[in-house]
């Protein structure tokens, strides 16, 4: 397999359960060996269906899925050599931890001494080396999830699929496991395809994220590109916190546009996904990119806003304002030593750099 050859490839893949409605629409996706790709999207967007087709648990209605240069549509799941981790762990309750890990090796006809070596290595990898004789019921949720990850890794597959694997864990443990899975991936170099609806989880773990909506990938980019440079209004709204406000294009020139907001004010923005003069647009602006009472006007759009609510959150003050035609305009003010107290009910100037405000397709 040449370096340019993708390790996983979806080629014009479609999926329908009833022969009429397409859950996945004409999916083309290349994943290089060793990459951590997350399929992210709301419920019903098609992401889990893609994973199930790759695993072999669901047939594709149209198109072909490849592993390396081999088409696998007609290869049964157990012959694809793929490791799987599910949200519910799927551990055998009547088997010890060690027996759970040895099972996929027995199925592959591996002898006892080799099985023991691989089981020990996999348990050490998830820091559960002393837990081989425990039963799943004797483990915490986080430990069970580690065992599930170890079982997926034990036969050293080149590809691991994870379907909402951390969904059942509490917030702190979930965040800890995100870093652990990320570090295991980095140390092994295995290819991971991960499914989640949690955007912060996707941002934390992934090399690239495919944002799904309505059976279509809306954008496939690195975490920083998705957050900083969303291609459309759906991605801007789905990834991170985002202010959106609507207006009409007055002019477009050199990648920038002038927009008259519905509130009557005029601002400048990056022209990312817009029509010509007179067309509607939705502006996207991250709350942390906005300054209250900006000291400099250079390269900035400045409008007025009324402070409706200021909530102290330790590292920043979350400020809800009426601005730009919205009563839910959010500004995150860093909690610095020079920070000026924010008075609720007060009208202030707010500003942002033109490049931080993106003019996108209007939301219907």
Residue with tokens 């592993």: 67
pLDDT digits (tens, 9 = 90+) for 304-342: 999 999 998 888 889 999 999 899 999 998 888 666 677
Same domain, 137 and 112: yes
Same domain, 164 and 78: yes
Domain stop point among 233, 262, 292: 233
Same domain, 149 and 60: yes
Give how far the C-alpha of residue 192 lies from the chain's centroid of Cα atoms, to the nearest Å.
Answer: 13
Positive or negative torsion for Cα 89, 94, 96, 101: negative
Positive or negative torsion for Cα 153, 172, 314, 285: positive
Same domain, 31 and 53: yes
Q: Residue 352 is part of a domain; what is its CATH number? A: 2.40.50.140
Residue 2 domain flag: no
Same domain, 280 and 209: no
pLDDT digits (tens, 9 = 90+) for 235-273: 999 998 999 999 999 999 999 999 999 999 999 999 998
Q: Environment class of residue 300 by beta-carbon count within 10 Å: exposed (0-12), middle (13-18) or buried (19+)?
A: middle
CB 299 within 8 A of CB 354: yes
Residue 20 domain flag: yes
Average pLDDT of span 53-67: 96
Same domain, 36 and 140: yes
Q: What does pTM read for this prediction?
A: 0.88
Same domain, 83 and 215: yes
SS3 category, 147: helix
Same domain, 218 and 301: no
Residue 88 domain flag: yes
Same domain, 217 and 256: no
Angle at 42 between CA 38 and CA 47, to 5 degrees: 45
Same domain, 181 and 216: yes
Same domain, 220 and 275: no
SS (H, E, C) 263-286: CCCEEEEEECCCCCCCCEEEEEEC
pLDDT at 340: 63
Same domain, 43 and 61: yes
Which DSSP category does 341 fall into?
P
Domain stop point among 187, 212, 233: 233
Residue 246 domain flag: yes
Please count the structural domains in the chain.
Answer: 2
Domain stop point among 183, 212, 233: 233
pLDDT digits (tens, 9 = 90+) for 177-235: 898 889 889 988 999 999 999 999 999 999 999 999 999 999 999 999 999 999 999 99
pLDDT digits (tens, 9 = 90+) for 86-143: 877 778 999 999 999 999 888 888 889 999 999 998 898 888 889 999 999 999 888 8
pLDDT at 337: 67
Tokens representing residue 304 in the block = 């007025």
Q: Residue 190 is part of a domain; what is its CATH number? A: 3.40.50.300
DSSP per position, 210-241: EEEETTEEEEEE-HHHHHHS-SSHHHHHHSS-
CA distance 99 to 95: 6
| Range(s) of the domain holding residue 268 | 242-360
CB 120 within 8 A of CB 155: no
Positions of E strands within 78-227:
82-86, 159-163, 191-196, 208-213, 216-221
Residue 3 domain flag: no
Average pLDDT of span 7-30: 95
Nearest to 12 by CA among 59, 75, 70, 65: 65
Residue 1 domain flag: no
């Amino acid at each position: 397999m040449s370096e340019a050859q993708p390790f996983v490839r979806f080629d014009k893949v479609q999926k329908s359960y009833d022969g009429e409605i397409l859950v996945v629409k004409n999916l083309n996706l290349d994943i290089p060996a060793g990459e951590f790709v997350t399929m992210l999207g709301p419920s019903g967007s098609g992401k889990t269906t893609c994973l199930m087709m790759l695993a072999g648990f669901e047939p594709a209605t149209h198109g072909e899925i490849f592993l390396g240069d081999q088409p696998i549509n007609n290869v049964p799941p157990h012959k694809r050599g793929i490791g799987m981790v599910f949200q519910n762990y799927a551990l055998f309750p009547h088997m010890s931890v060690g027996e759970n890990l040895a099972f996929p090796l027995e199925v592959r006809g591996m002898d006892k001494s080799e099985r023991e070596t691989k089981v020990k290595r996999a348990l050490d990898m998830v820091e559960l080396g002393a837990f081989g004789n425990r039963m799943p019921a004797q483990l915490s949720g986080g430990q069970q999830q580690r065992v599930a990850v170890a079982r997926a890794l034990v036969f050293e597959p080149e590809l691991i699929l994870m379907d909402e694997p951390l969904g059942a864990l509490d917030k702190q443990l979930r965040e800890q496991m995100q870093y652990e899975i990320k570090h295991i991936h980095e140390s092994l170099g295995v290819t991971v395809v991960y499914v989640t609806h949690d955007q912060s989880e996707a941002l934390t773990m992934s090399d690239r994220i495919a944002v799904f909506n309505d059976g279509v990938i809306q954008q496939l980019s690195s975490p920083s590109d998705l957050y900083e440079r969303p291609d459309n209004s759906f991605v801007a709204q789905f990834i991170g916190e985002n202010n959106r406000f609507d207006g009409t294009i007055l002019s477009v020139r050199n990648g920038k546009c002038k927009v008259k907001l519905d509130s009557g004010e005029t601002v400048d923005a990056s022209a990312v996904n817009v029509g010509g003069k007179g067309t509607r647009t939705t502006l996207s602006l991250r709350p942390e990119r906005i300054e209250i009472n900006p000291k400099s006007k250079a390269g900035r759009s400045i409008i007025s806003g009324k402070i409706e609510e200021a909530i102290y959150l330790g590292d920043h003050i979350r400020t809800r304002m009426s601005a730009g035609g919205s009563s839910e305009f959010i500004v995150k003010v860093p909690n610095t030593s020079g920070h000026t107290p924010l008075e609720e009910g007060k009208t202030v100037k707010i500003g942002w750099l033109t490049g931080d405000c993106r003019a996108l397709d209007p939301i219907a």
